[in-house]
Amino acid sequence: MKLPLPPFMRTTTFRLAVVHALMFLFFTFGLLVYLFYSTAGYMRSESVRELDGEVQALAAAFNAGGMDRLNQSVIERSSVPGPFFYVLQDPTGQSVSGDFATIPDDLPDRGSRETNFSYQTLNRNGELETRSANGIIIRLPNQASLLVAYDLGTRTQIVNRITRTVWTALPIGLAMSLIGGLIISRSAARRAEQLTRTTDGVMSGDLSSRAPVVGSGDEFDRLSERMNAMLDRLEQLMLTTRHAGDAIAHDLRSPLTRLRNRLEADLRDGEKVNRAESIERTIEEVDAVLATFNAILSLSRVQAGNAARFQDIEVSELLSELAELYEPAAEEAGLEFSSEIEPGLLIEGDKSLIAQAVTNLLDNAIKYTPEGGAMTLRARKTRSDEVELSVTDTGPGIPEADRERAVRRFVRLEASRTQPGNGLGLAMVDAIARLHQGRFDLSEGPGTPPNIGLRAALTLPTEV
């Protein structure tokens, strides 16, 4: 039966700590092994090089002066304290000179051989101790024998010290890697827990909950910023939906109530009612309700990006046609209409949606500008190489505090409650601007108080 792991061992924090510890441990172990072998190997190669130098020097002395010169060199070297030992024996095996009474190993018949042996000497405390040595035994041409060896004690001490250091550093490295892994993983886990608390708050209904951004610019900050942007958008959509429900109920209550009262009156009056006129008014009320729902559907499609067919648009030509179409309507409403359209303006976008946005602005200008006022349709290229389409009027305008709210769904300011409409016109223009990666701005117009006017500008890039 497979035993379940403890809860803390199943966490990402623990796994990150283990991975960090293993990586640090492998690195430390590899580094220490490298240091051990490189140090010990270097010491051995240096010892062998020095030993070869001693052998070559003594061989040169033998070649230059025979046994006498060689004996003199061995005596001189033996009398000077150092790491090397020398023993010279004659062909009969009798010791001639050197540090030992005899060569402490078997002699080769000819040539040379490497030897490892132990010897006893007094330490600093005057106590007898056994030490190790490594050297070369050489059979000379006259059958005499020569031993040149070096003491391994110093090298052995250094190697042992390195070995102890390795075994001491490994557990320390393991402990440090575990601590470091826990610190790093705990930091990551703490940021993840903050994100989890944020999502839990949102799931519980608190749409104002936001993920903390510490300002480090790491991936958790970027994730928090994206999550906060998503939550801002979600909160806005929820508020819009809540407001839309209230606005729909408010704006549809009146026509539906009028429709019901009319039908009830017609039913009560019976034959006295002009059936054709009653049906005609009923159809108008129903058409108004359907128009509201069609506007909602169109706005939803635009905001979802499902209604766009992008192509190159001759904006100057399109606005000239709209100016020609709306000039008679403006004059009929008692308004002075003018247009200022730069020729040759081109953008990439959906022609029908751009036309709908400008039409909404023109309709609003005609609807809210009092008789005797003026309105202007403009199209120009800005310094930033964008195309700006604007409609200005001398109507009552929109207060600066209400301009941001005016572009939301179903928002109808108090001054517009007496006019027919559904509160979706400016919201549609703003959605079309966003769909084209542009912007929609409201500002004061050219009028004078109390009719300060309104300037509604749709700014669009030439390419999307």
In a domain, 64, yes or no: yes
Q: Are residues 274 and 344 in the same domain?
A: no
How close are the terminal C-alpha atoms of the chain, in Å?
62
**Do 108 and 244 have their domain in common?**
no
**Dihedral, 405, 406, 410, 413 alpha carbons, nearest 10:** 100
pLDDT of residue 304: 60
Query: Cα-Cα-Cα-Cα dihedral of 396, 402, 403, 409, to 10°?
Result: -110
Question: Which of 261, 286, 304 is at the close of a domain?
Answer: 304
Domain of 451, in residue numbers: 311-461
Do 154 and 278 have their domain in common?
no
Within this chain, do residues 265 and 397 fall inside the same structural domain, yes or no? no
Using alpha carbons, select from 447, 364, 445, 367 the residue that is nearest to residue 406. Answer: 364
Q: Do you find a cis peptide bond into 450, omega within 30 degrees of 0? A: yes
pLDDT of residue 376: 94
Would residue 241 be called left, alpha or beta, if left means φ above 0 and alpha means ψ between -120 and 50 degrees?
alpha
The answer to whether position 211 is within a domain reads no
Cross-strand pairs, 457: 390, 441
DSSP string, 391-454: EEE-S----GGGHHHHTSTT---GGGTTS---S-HHHHHHHHHHHTT-EEEEEE-S-BTTB--E
Nearest to 378 by CA among 447, 442, 457: 457
DSSP SS3 for 113: strand
Rounded Cα distance between 338 and 390, Å, is 12
Domain boundary among 144, 159, 174: 159
The residue assigned the tokens 């999502």 is 199
CATH label of the domain that carries residue 386: 3.30.565.10
Which of 120, 144, 159 marks a domain boundary? Answer: 159
Mean pLDDT by 10 residues, the chain (464 residues): 57 69 76 76 80 86 88 87 86 86 83 85 78 86 88 75 76 75 71 80 79 79 85 76 64 72 75 72 77 68 66 92 93 93 92 89 91 93 92 90 78 56 77 88 86 91 82
- Rg of the chain on CA atoms, in Å: 49
Are residues 457 and 330 part of one domain?
Answer: yes
In a domain, 230, yes or no: yes
Q: What is the CATH number of the domain that holds 225?
A: 1.10.287
- Domain-embedded: residue 195: no
Instruction: For residue 416, tell me if it sits in a domain.
Output: yes
Q: List beta partners, residue 388.
A: 380, 459
Q: What is the pTM of this model?
A: 0.48
d(CA 243, CA 250): 10
Q: At what angle do helices 219-269 and 275-304 cross, to 10 degrees?
A: 170
Q: 284 and 336 share a domain?
A: no
CATH code, 152: 3.30.450
The Cα–Cα gap between 288 and 366 comes to 19
Per-residue pLDDT of 340-374, as tens digits, reads 999 999 999 888 889 989 999 999 899 889 999 99
**What sign has the CA pseudo-torsion 244, 247, 249, 251?**
negative
Work out the number of other CB atoms within 10 angstroms of the CB of residue 279: 12
Q: Are residues 295 and 401 in the same domain?
A: no
Q: Name the residue with tokens 């010279």.
A: 88
Give the pLDDT score at 322.
93
CA distance 61 to 58: 5
Give pLDDT, residue 400.
85
pLDDT at 246: 64
User: What does the pLDDT read at residue 394?
Assistant: 92
Q: 349 by DSSP, 3-state: which?
A: strand
Give me the pLDDT at residue 272, please.
Answer: 66
Residue 179 lies in a domain: no
376 and 293 inside one domain: no
Cβ of 121: how many Cβ atoms within 10 Å? 12
Amino acid in the structure at residue 368: Y
Nearest-CA neighbor of 62 among 96, 108, 20? 96
Q: Are strands 336-341 and 374-381 parallel, antiparallel or unpaired?
A: parallel
Q: Note whether 261 and 356 are same-domain residues.
A: no
- 335 close to 371: Cβ distance less than 8 angstroms: yes
- Residue among 72, 62, 71, 82 at smallest CA distance from 149: 82
- For residues 283 and 319, state if they share a domain: no
Residue 135 is assigned to a structural domain of this protein: yes
8 A C-beta contact, residue 404 and residue 393: no
Residues 297 and 379 in one domain: no
d(CA 134, CA 299) in angstroms, rounded, equals: 95
Structure confidence at residue 301 (pLDDT): 67
Domain count, the chain: 3
- Per the domain annotation, does 199 fall within a domain? no
- Asked if 170 contacts 28 with a C-beta cutoff of 8 angstroms, the reply is yes
CB 435, CB 353: distance < 8 Å: yes
| 75 and 121, same domain (yes or no) | yes
